[in-house]
Amino acid sequence: MTRIEKGKDCQTVITTFEVNPAICDDVLDLLRAAYAEVISKQPGFISAGLHVNDAQTRIANYSQWSRREDFQAMLRADEMRRRNKEINQLTKGFEPVMYDVAEVY
Position 2 confidence tier, pLDDT thresholds 50, 70, 90: low
| 1 vs 48, higher pLDDT | 48
State mean pLDDT over 72-93.
96
- Cβ-defined contacts of 72-77 (< 8 Å, 24+): 73/42, 73/43, 73/44, 74/38, 74/39, 74/42, 74/44, 74/45, 77/38, 77/42
**Domain spans of the chain?**
11-99
CATH architecture of the domain covering 11-99: 2-Layer Sandwich (3.30)
Average pLDDT, the chain: 94
Statement: the pTM of the whole predicted model exceeds 0.85 = yes
